[in-house]
Structure 1
């Protein structure tokens, strides 16, 4: 009884963390003007994917955990639930892949980045991610490609019919799992490793050039560049490491059980590796946006219930100060000395990871 209560509390807290974190990402981008950039479309897509996972899949997965695998809603809804699970997890992984490619394009060719990464191409990439995720989830499960005899799983399982021989779980009992796991995990993992390796190399080359151009009396600038390189390396290593730690055990277990045609895998191991993969959806709002200073600032404003538009601008504060000064001197004319600065589209590099601003200059800082 106590173990069930602890499990219930942990699962609920996990679901709330996943939903709340990804909602915070969406609200931060929606309310902060500084985050309205094309590159953040992938971050928002990732947050929406993980948010849908927390809303539609994780509560049902938690119910299965608490009911020892008993599913009272029948085989048809079970297949829909499993398809949504596979679709959203695949979309999350492919979006992480898109983010790594976007960051590589940004740092390797900053001047060509606006021509390469346009809003139309970003929208097409996001649409392709969702179409691919839909194709590898609903189609194979509802055509029976994932079962050992290529029949649709749970087809004879009716509503409110709970039998011990049936469990609402993705069946992986043929060689199809090799194609599925390679296409949805191992290949994206290899590409992500390649992208981040290239980012490391470009970052080191940039630091090397900074050191070569630094005079002997300005060693502090070189030390700062070295610190930024170390910080960027740690950040990108955390991003890639979290992805591998969360998903590699599940897909390795998934592949091994499929190749062995194991009809009844160990329930405890299956639950551990599955929820470890889910944990990546809770980490994404921390690893990707929260390491960015603009996101942290937007997070702080949202958590303090102070929107960016509610804060007085520098121009309005300056005008108010001039009015008070003019009135105190007996004048009623306010001199126009506090015009708001024009949008100069300066390239600002902030945060701990690679970050692209409104224009194209990109730096690891």
Structure 2
């Protein structure tokens, strides 16, 4: 709702702020106070319509893509491999992230408060969304480690290969993810504003599902479920790329090979280039999708005193939120469409 709708006769913007921000001579209606403290109930249409279209496209493509991954792997016994178990786990976690997170966030854009879905869903949504995020990151890390062993240490991978091992690792990743996400459910509450301020009388119209967590929780989440995995993934893929480059057959050697082998080496060279392209795409997608999300979290904690905090945080939240869900949509493309198998 625009501020002009709240201005009284001959009242300026400064007058409005003074009467709503002055606790000694507080003279604001409940609706005015909520606008002053929490903003409009709904974002302007010029912002919300394009955001909604983008999120709906992300939701549809992500759900369809990840469901297809699950169905293809389940229905084809030949695809029941350790690698595809990781992909199946990744697809399930991405589906949970999309189904429990995106529709709720989209509804908040259209109706920011009061929150009406109850405390149980507030906590459940926080638990599942956070856990699904952790599962995705840990699964990508485990998958990257598996790719590293397959390319750089194939004999070692063969010695430790097995579907049972992969299944156990995936179960452990899910257990760790839900265990570490549990505090987010514990600290997620439906918060209320007092009307008048500091009166002890809750304004039911101000209900909002929010994370009331102590500061270290968000920092620890970013460290252990973004920065550490990001460094690990980057190191693994750089090592893989260097290993592939080091094993290329030189042009001089190719000349001395038989014609049949020349074609084989050419095919192998194309395969190596395809692997490198996929590795680069995976690393770029990981950083592009997840960096804004964690940066926005940390900015919300440490950037509050900046003069343009609210403006920066709003735009950063919109960009980070979209890329956050793009990560669940792009995974089927990177790990399946780009793979010939």
- Quick check: 1:97–1:188 contact (8 Å CA) kept in 2? yes
Deviation of 1:268 (Å): 3.3
CA deviations over 1:88-122 (Å, ceiling 9, x no partner): 11111111111101111111222332321322221
Shift of 1:238: 0.5
2:327 corresponds to 1:280: yes
The alignment of Structure 1 onto Structure 2 pairs a total of residues equal to 282
- The equivalent of 2:336 in structure 1 is 289
Cα deviation per residue 1:301-348 (whole Å; 9 max; x = unaligned)? xxxxxxxxxxxxxxxxxxxxxxxxxxxxxxxxxxxxxxxxxxxxxxxx
- Give unmatched runs, 5+ long, in structure 1: 145-151, 295-365
Q: CA deviation at 1:168?
A: 2.8
- Preserved contact between residue 211 and residue 222 of structure 1 (Cα < 8 Å): no
Matched, 1:193 2:234: yes
Q: Which residue of 229, 234, 250 maps to 2:277?
A: 234
The TM-score, its normalising length taken from structure 2, stands at 0.73
Alignment correspondent of 2:220: 179
Give the SS at the match of 2:81: coil
Residues 86 and 143 in structure 2, CA contact (< 8 A), matched pair in contact too? yes
What TM-score, normalized by structure 1, do the two folds share?
A: 0.69
> What is the CA–CA distance in structure 1 between the aligned matches of 2:115 and 2:173, rounded to whole Å?
30
Change (3 A) 1:283 1:197: same
Alignment of 1:1-365 (within 5 A): 1=45, 4-68=48-112, 70-142=114-186, 144=187, 153-154=189-190, 161-163=204-206, 167-171=208-212, 174-208=215-249, 212=253, 215=256, 218=259, 222-260=265-303, 266-294=313-341
Q: Bigger CA drift: 188-197 or 58-67?
A: 58-67
Unaligned ranges ≥5, structure 2: 1-44, 194-202
Which segment is superposed worse, 259-268 or 184-193? 259-268
Offset, 1:173? 5.8
Secondary structure in 2 matching 1:207: coil
DSSP 3-state at the match of 1:293: coil
RMSD of equivalent CA atoms: 2.9
Distance 1:214 1:37 in 2: 38
Q: Distance in 1 between matches of 2:301 and 2:146?
A: 33
Offset of residue 198 of structure 1: 1.6
2:184–2:213 CA contact under 8 A, matched in 1: no
Separation (CA, whole Å) in 2 of partners of 1:58 and 1:262: 29
Task: Kindly indicate whether the alpha-carbon contact (under 8 Å) linking 2:191 and 2:208 is maintained by their aligned counterparts in 1.
Answer: no
Task: Using the TM superposition, give the Cα deviation of residue 194 of structure 1 relative to its aligned residue in structure 2, in angstroms.
Answer: 1.2
Q: Aligned equivalents of 2:183 and 2:291: distance in 1? A: 24
Q: Is the 8 A contact 1:153 1:171 kept in 2?
A: yes
Task: Report if aligned partners of 2:290, 2:324 keep a CA contact under 8 Å in 1.
Answer: yes
Q: Residue 18 of structure 1: CA displacement? A: 1.1
- Residue 201 of structure 1 and its aligned partner are, at CA, apart by 1.9
Asked if the contact 1:175–1:258 (Cα under 8 Å) also holds between the matched residues in 2, the reply is no
Q: Aligned partners of 1:156 and 1:256: how far apart in 2? A: 24
Q: In structure 1, the residue corresponding to 2:140 is in which secondary structure?
A: helix
Counterpart Cα distance in 2 of 1:76 and 1:224: 56
Contact 1:105 1:113 in 2 (8 A): yes
